[in-house]
A and B are shown apart, each in its own frame.
Chain A
Amino acid sequence: MEITLRDAVTVVHGMFFGALLLLAFTGAAMGLYAVSTPVGRWNITPAQQRRLSLYVALMALLAWVTVLLGAYAVYPWYRAHPPAGLTDLSGFPQRLLMSSPATAQWHDIGMEWKEHIAWFAPISLTAAAYLVARYGAHLHSLPSVRRALVGLVALAFLSAGVAGFFGAMLNKYAPVRGGTRIVLMHGDSHDK
């Protein structure tokens, strides 16, 4: 069982960091709702407030790591130009997608949107983390700050969701692949 280095980095970018970020939104949504709802709220202690702030700050950090790894490690492999005359485009995902009308829109809409919208997530989550740290215990009494915070987290979720969806689809039609082969496991097939 093998995987290439580019596959591995892409998996870390999307299936580890990206998916973990998307999963983390449920915890953030529940925590922020519990502390900020005007009626029946969770009376948060200073220690719990610090942990909630840390949670959202770690989400922002995760979003930054995800987009930076995507833009500066995976994307250059994706958009690499093949040598003239090469017919096997499997190592050049962008060119492979653009070579067929059936797949060109995955690049023209999917990647072109993903590469930009993804950046809304770390930017808005950084601001959200700041608001939670500064206003966390007072969110229930500051409705406009609460709405701003919900908006920032929703924007981050939308952008991370769009980027994640297109990332998964792009990798189905034109996987980023190549580089050093990493052997994960040796062995024969059981189906003989």
Chain B
Amino acid sequence: MTSELSEAAPANGAAAAAVLAVAIGSLVLGVCALAGDASPAIAHVLNVWNPTGPLSGVTVLAIIVWLVVWFVLARVWSGRNLDLRRINLLALALVIVGLLLTFPPFMDLLQGK
């Protein structure tokens, strides 16, 4: 057995922060994708780089939110042991919603198209 394996396992707070940040970033990506699809005004705002169009704003915003949430949660939760099972379930739900919101037939369904 290696010396690393004999050490105590680190607290799971950092893992919880990473997982929940991914889930929130995924949800933001889905919400922004839907908003850009549903509203020409929002699509115009999200068009931060014209050759790529609204996709540029959708992804930049999602990445910023993901990284900020990760940074903040990591600062708050690092070194703590949390109920990661519940956080995993919450993250799973958020990711599923985020995925659904990027799926065009579901987008159309929500918009009544």
Spot the interface stretch: A6-14, A16-24, A132-140, A182-190: A132-140
Assess the A152–B14 pair: CB atoms within 8 A.
no
Alpha-carbon distance between A130 and B10 when the two chains are bound, in angstroms: 13
Given A123-B63, A131-B15, A135-B15, A113–B102 Cβ distance below 8 Å? yes
Cβ 8 A contact of B52, one of A71, A108, A123: A71
Asked whether, in the complex, the Cβ of B26 is within 8 Å of the Cβ of A123, the reply is: yes
Say whether chain B's binding surface is mostly helix, strand, loop, or mixed: helix
Q: Is A46 an interface residue (CB 8 A)?
A: yes
What is the 8 Å Cβ interface bit string for chain B, positions 32-45, against chain A (1 contact, 0 not)? 01000100000000
- Give the interface residue-count category, chain A: 35 or more
Measured CA separation A112–B37 after assembly (Å)? 10
B5 touches A148 (CB 8 A): no
**Can you name the residue of chain A whose Cβ is closest to the Cβ of B1?**
A43
| B99 CB, min distance to chain A CBs, angstroms | 7
Contacts of B30 in A (CB 8 A): 116
- How far does the Cβ of A53 sit from chain B's closest Cβ, in whole Å? 12
| Cross-interface CB contact of A127 among B21, B58, B85, B103, cutoff 8 Å | B21
In the assembled complex, B84 has its CB within 8 A of some CB on chain A: yes
Q: Hey, what's the 0/1 contact readout for A55-80 against B, CB within 8 Å counting as 1? A: 00000000000000001100110010
How many CB-defined contacts (below 8 Å) exist between A and B? 112
The residue on B at minimum CB distance from A125 is B22
Does the CB pair B19–A148 fall under 8 Å? yes
C-alpha spacing A27/B52, complex, angstroms: 33
Contact residues of B between 85 and 113, Cβ < 8 Å to A: 85, 88, 91-92, 95, 98-99, 102-105, 107
| Contact status A137-B104, CB under 8 Å | no
- Are A145 and B4 within 8 A (Cβ)? no
B99 and A117 within 8 A (CB): yes
A147 in the interface (beta carbon within 8 A)? yes
What is B's interface to A at a CB cutoff of 8 Å? 1-5, 7, 9-10, 12, 14-15, 18-19, 21-22, 25-26, 29-30, 33, 37, 49, 51-53, 55-56, 58-59, 62-63, 66, 70, 84-85, 88, 91-92, 95, 98-99, 102-105, 107
| Listed A/B pairs (8) with beta-carbon separation below 8 Å | A75-B55, A113-B102, A116-B29, A116-B33, A127-B19, A135-B10, A135-B15, A145-B15
Q: A residues touching B (Cβ–Cβ < 8 Å)? A: 43-46, 49, 71-72, 75-76, 79, 108-109, 112-113, 115-117, 119-120, 123-124, 127, 130-131, 134-135, 137-138, 141-142, 144-145, 147-148, 151-152, 155
